[in-house]
Structure 1
């Protein structure tokens, strides 16, 4: 497959976070969609404006934050503190710390997390407990650590493969201001790329090594009850057979023969 990367302008809802978005609306394999306003993904929340915080906590009603940054990142960079919002830090190794002299590909870093990072299943299982309260999961750039957690959660609740890939690639246009934010880290530019080949390699490994998302969850020790809670919290109920299905705009479609 030809590597595809995405460029363009940021579509983040927040001024101080450049890679923030709602995972709601993504299609599932059984014809439903993910609920809106339940699970959000983002880059670091350390530079939110007062308006951002009002939007995040008051209008969107976010009540939980899952921070995937390392303890040192979280301590150095900080983040918002708001009322009774639940904050949990489950650190996944950063791309910066994943580097070696050989500069591994992003896909290799993702596969290391998949196979060897014991905190990855902990993060997924924690989300099952935090939801259905509106929750943000984030790291530094919102692309890599957040991207693989989002991909696994989306896969476990039945999002289509195309939706998972498309969501990952949406981070591409949001990278330029994030690159500037972390310029002092002197990271190789390729680590900020958002290529289809990286997420496809990850998804293929889930299928080939574990037999799919459910197989990965079982081997990682994630309970079936946790997976069921994720599905219940994040997916819309399947419509009754005679209930009109929503079209792409979200409006019910007209019954056949009525216009």
Structure 2
């Protein structure tokens, strides 16, 4: 399976691809048809749902959006599909009534993890990614456990399918034994569809102001972002598995997820 054929073309989502077909450290490849990653699923059409649920056997959706996003955007059409279980596992603190922070108005902070440009952009993004783990280790562990469930395919998504989804996908691939090069390549592949992603998000008042506050190029997923994030876990915990173990992840969890993603 090539990087090109990993894409799943839908009418209502533009950043959908399979985590299968990636090289592993032992010379194998990750298994296709088990774990998918995506941008927002609000606009899925009946044909999209037929493909995902009927042909690809989608059974579990991990929704990483904040409570604010779900409230403002709505749960999405897959909530009405009885074969699919939706697991809402925000990576934000969820401190307020409406937002993902300790404020009660959308204006007090952004819905998405996009801020003013820092002097060292790589460190800024790495810090934000590590913040997911610091603020919501429970959601990270539970999301990975859902992705390891064996009854049909699982899909993980956020809004753009880039940052939050990128971190969870990187962790799943690391556990499965994918090479670091392939993990980075999967992360940066979102850049191939960034323009289409931004067009979709600008159509929603929930995301429009956040997007327009920064140039489009600032949203590009650069390899240094995910490389530095993984390096932080290597340096502080001996790797992603070391961090996960400290949060209650078990050898049995690792076995299940590896079985999902390994040929």
Once residues 185 and 162 of structure 1 are traced to their aligned partners in structure 2, the CA distance between those partners, rounded to angstroms, is 34
Superposition map of 1:107-256 within 5 A: 107-118=126-137, 119-128=139-148, 130-183=149-202, 184-187=208-211, 188-189=214-215, 192-236=219-263
Task: Return closer, same or farther for 1:204/1:37 CA change in 2, 3 Å cut-off.
Answer: same
- The match for 2:82 is 83
Once residues 112 and 160 of structure 2 are traced to their aligned partners in structure 1, the CA distance between those partners, rounded to angstroms, is 14
Once residues 161 and 102 of structure 1 are traced to their aligned partners in structure 2, the CA distance between those partners, rounded to angstroms, is 27
Superposition map of 1:62-81 within 5 A: 62-77=58-73, 78-81=75-78
Once residues 225 and 171 of structure 1 are traced to their aligned partners in structure 2, the CA distance between those partners, rounded to angstroms, is 31
Pick the aligned partner of 2:43 from 34, 40, 47.
47
Unaligned runs of 5+ in 1: 1-9, 237-259
Task: Using structure 2 for the length normalisation, give the TM-score.
Answer: 0.79
Once residues 102 and 27 of structure 1 are traced to their aligned partners in structure 2, the CA distance between those partners, rounded to angstroms, is 34
Tell me, yes or no, if the aligned pair for 2:191 and 2:220 is still in contact at 8 Å: yes
Task: Using structure 1 for the length normalisation, give the TM-score.
Answer: 0.80
Task: Judging by fraction of residues, say which structure has more helix.
Answer: 2
Which structure has the larger Rg? 1
Task: Return closer, same or farther for 1:231/1:193 CA change in 2, 3 Å cut-off.
Answer: same
Unaligned runs of 5+ in 2: 1-5, 93-99, 101-109, 203-207
Task: Return closer, same or farther for 1:11/1:32 CA change in 2, 3 Å cut-off.
Answer: closer
Once residues 226 and 164 of structure 1 are traced to their aligned partners in structure 2, the CA distance between those partners, rounded to angstroms, is 20
Residues matched between the structures, number: 226
Tell me, yes or no, if the aligned pair for 2:233 and 2:239 is still in contact at 8 Å: yes
Displacement over 6 Å in runs of 4+? none
